[in-house]
Structure 1
Amino acid sequence: MLHHVQLACPPGSEAALRDFYEGVLGLAEVPKPPLLAARGGCWFRGHGVELHLGVEDDFRPARKAHPALLVHDLDAWAHRLAEAGYPVAFADDIPGMRRFHSEDCHGNRLEFLEPLS
């Protein structure tokens, strides 16, 4: 069983992370332990996933590596992201799944999947 997935973020980007992960994706921020909080970044949980965003001084967005989030009502997720100004690129190359790729506020790749009925 997976506990969490970590993505990188640039220093000082916590407000943008909260706007995206809480505001757009609807995840709840999880308080970081005090020793880890001093490093910056944010942790989020919801929809069956926990994502940790950790600061990298020489940050570059993950363009290939990504978390894949299993969701219900894929079209609603796509609409939510598109309405907020994020890209939505559907693909139909995994049998039994509908999916699309998007990105977070710093360009990290995200995948959203829903099993076909």
Structure 2
Amino acid sequence: MTLVAIDHVQLAMPPGGEDAARRFYGDVLGLPETPKPEHLARRGGCWFEDGGLKIHLGVEADFRPARKAHPGLLVSNLPALKAKLSDGGFALKDDEPLEGYDRIYVDDPFGNRIELLEPLSGARKTNETHA
């Protein structure tokens, strides 16, 4: 048995948050929405997928945002994305530097922490973990 890859990341959201999820993950981050299978769509939520990048939002009745746990998303042109997030009213949060990356944190509309990372030119990519 061997683990091969992560298929998707699931984040929680409160009931009725689908439109806010579409604005953030679809309009601002640019991820296309993928229809959920019918038997799962009844639960609410929405899925955003682009190739191997898959973020699923599921409804949680007793919702509490993930403040520490988070997905780290590799991006290109982080400065342009930062401007788009700021223009959309999303507050950006700096953190200590991470060797080889420019990075920023942002909360999705529900308060879930999202890390956005862009490899620096010429930087060696590592599988270093960070908290």
TM-score of the superposed pair, with normalisation by structure 1: 0.94
The percent identity for this pair of structures is: 55
> 1:100 corresponds to which residue?
104
* CA RMSD after TM alignment: 1.3
C-alpha contact 2:7 2:52 (8 A) present in aligned 1? no
Deviation at 1:95, TM superposition (A): 0.8
1:61-116 Cα offsets, whole Å, 9 max, x none, are 11001110001111111111111000112334211111000011111100000111
Which amino acid counterpart does residue 47 of structure 2 have in structure 1? Answer: W
Paired residues of 1:97 and 1:114 also in contact (CA < 8 A): yes
Task: Assess, with a 3 A threshold, how the Cα gap between structure 1 residues 61 and 25 changes in structure 2: closer, same or farther.
Answer: same
Bigger Rg over Cα: 2
Contact 1:27 1:47 in 2 (8 A): no
SS at match of 1:36: helix
Conserved? CA contact 1:92–1:98, under 8 Å: no
Name 1:37's counterpart in structure 2: 41
Higher strand share: 1
**Superposed structure 1 runs of 4+ greater than 2 Å apart:** 90-93
1:76 corresponds in structure 2 to 80
Aligned with 2:69: secondary structure? coil
**Which amino acid in the other structure matches residue 14 of structure 2?**
P
1:38-62 deviation digits (Å, cap 9, x = unpaired): 1000000137511000010000111
Query: Aligned with 2:94: secondary structure?
Result: strand
How many residues matched? Answer: 117
Alignment of 1:1-117 (within 5 A): 1-46=5-50, 48-117=52-121
Structure 2 stretches of 5 or more lacking a match?
122-131
Normalised TM-score (structure 2): 0.85
The answer (yes or no) to whether the contact 2:69–2:113 under 8 Å persists in 1 is: yes
